[in-house]
Structure 1
Amino acid sequence: MPPCVTAATLAGVMWHRYVAIGDSTTEGLDDPDGSGGYRGWADRFALAVARSQGGLEYANLAIRGRTTARIRAEQLPVALELAPDLATVVAGMNDVLRPSFDVDRVADDVGAMQQALVEQGATVLTFTLPDPAPVMPAARPLRGRVSALNEALRKVTASTGATMLDLGAHPVASDPRLWSDDRLHANSAGHERIAAALAHTAGLPGSDDSWSRPLATARRRPRQEVIRAELAWTRRHLLPWLARHLRGSSSGEGRVAKRPVPLPVDLD
């Protein structure tokens, strides 16, 4: 296996084509683009790369609701056909949310995707998942699953030659103020932080570790305010999510990738 790539070895590399594969976080939920769609960290990272080197082709194959196995089966073959020299592979949260979660299977699928892209000559970046408990107290029982998956991802990434951004090791990644109202997706500020973290990991000129710094201390909310917020979240997001999954449906049904063809990044 090739050695793990580090940010230092990436500095100065020029990339021609970036392809992102994954689920809703890579698609960009909940970072509105102002035109009815979503931007997200992948779009923001593509722009940072394009600006640093004067241009870049970019495709985003991610579709919300996709499990790791489906990303491997459906998106990886397309990504390989596009022959990127830069790729991001981020997956696993939809698996964590399912009763059938198998950490070894998810890690094997992620590792296989990383390996296939690395062997084809791509620089591959990925990141671990933030602790969900500070953002969504109801998800505290999933904390062990996320921790186990992150550890498995660290191990498999070290063996494939991909580059790991250990996002889950930084407490700021779980600051509720960087997450949207549904508590499953980053908000615009959160996506901006992830893009900055990837830029730093990739060694882009002008990037630094400021993305990892904590936000200012939040005010302590009155108990009644917290209770009202929890009830509102349950009504607006948790109950509809549970109903959808009990029906066996997915938020990604009938959807296609938002940017299936590599196009030049608009530097404006």
Structure 2
Amino acid sequence: MEINATYTSLVAVGDSFTEGMSDRLPDGSYRGWADLLAARLATRQPGFRYANLAVRGKLIGQIVAEQVEVAAAMRADVVTLVGGLNDTLRPKCDMGRVRSLLDEAVERLAPSCKQLVLMRSPGRQGPVLTRFRPRMEELFAHIDELAGRHDALVVDLYGSPVLADQRMWDVDRLHLTADGHRRVAAAVGESLRLDPEFDWRAPLPPAVPPRWASRRIDDARFAREHLLPWIGRRLTGRSSGDGRDPKRAELLPYEPPPSA
């Protein structure tokens, strides 16, 4: 692939990570790394087109059923696929089925585009995710294998120390902050051989340890506002994305909002 290559179109497939939570714009909508990447590519190519089919809460089976065929039919230059992590965070997870569905998605998407981009998603430190880490690493090992078979790129965010920093994560502890999304966009751009905008791997300044009382208040708020509702959805089979449409369902010319 040429250095500083030009692309005419991008389709993003996946769940909340690709939808852009929690990079919230003033109007309450979400931006996220895929929008930031599209904005950068659009400055390089007149008429650049972008679709984002991602919907929060989607499992890999739903991504395959609802997004993959639509994305493949768009015949974009670049397709990004990030999925399967929500499955690994469920109380019960059939990893064999997850691997099979990822196979199906990649086998359909890879021939439909010039470049398929996969991802080893970032992971913060903490007791909740530690429980599911073996599943996550099994997922990422399979993604590496698929990429090798289908000439896909893999953006390795899981091994990034700065993206594991707790300050890169929103109060829900599941989604990146605006700075986190900005760094992911830069990492994906780097994988596509764009000129580096900045060093996305650069560490944050040393943190001032929070006081014990402040940590307990934050933990209680997290449990009340995010953890317990999340557990409730897992146990009842509901999803935060139920009934939601993709934010950019069609591959159309992209003009970033002024705040982007």
TM-score above 0.5, yes or no: yes
- 8 Å CA contact 1:10–1:202 kept in 2: the answer is no
AA aligned to 2:127 is P
Alpha-carbon distance in 2 for matches of 1:160, 1:100: 29
Unaligned runs of 5+ in 2: none
1:88 to 69, 80, 91: 80
Which stretch shifts more, 93-102 or 63-72?
Answer: 93-102
2:225 aligned residue: 236
Alignment TM-score, normalising by the size of structure 2: 0.92
Alpha-carbon distance in 2 for matches of 1:111, 1:153: 9
Structure 1 position 224 matched with structure 2 position 213: yes
Alignment TM-score, normalising by the size of structure 1: 0.89
Structure 1 position 149 matched with structure 2 position 139: yes
Which stretch shifts more, 256-265 or 215-224?
Answer: 215-224
Alpha-carbon distance in 1 for matches of 2:96, 2:90: 14
Question: CA 1:99/1:242 → structure 2, altered by over 3 Å: closer, same or farther?
Answer: closer
Structure 1 position 109 matched with structure 2 position 109: no
RMSD: 1.7
Shift of 1:112: 2.8
- 8 Å CA contact 1:111–1:156 kept in 2: the answer is yes
Structure 1 position 45 matched with structure 2 position 37: yes
Shift of 1:33: 2.2
**1:225-251 alpha-carbon deviations (Å, 9 max, x no partner):** 222211111011111112223332111
1:17 aligned residue: 9
Which stretch shifts more, 56-65 or 78-87?
Answer: 78-87
Shift of 1:131: 2.8
Alpha-carbon distance in 2 for matches of 1:182, 1:55: 37
1:173 aligned residue: 163
Q: How many residues align?
A: 257
2:129 aligned residue: 139
SS in 1 for 2:130: helix
- 8 Å CA contact 1:67–1:95 kept in 2: the answer is yes
Question: CA 1:125/1:161 → structure 2, altered by over 3 Å: closer, same or farther?
Answer: same
- 8 Å CA contact 1:52–1:204 kept in 2: the answer is no
AA aligned to 1:102 is D
AA aligned to 1:159 is R
2:184 aligned residue: 194
Alignment of 1:116-135 (within 5 A): 116-132=108-124, 134=125
**1:170-209 alpha-carbon deviations (Å, 9 max, x no partner):** 111111111111011111111111001111111113445x
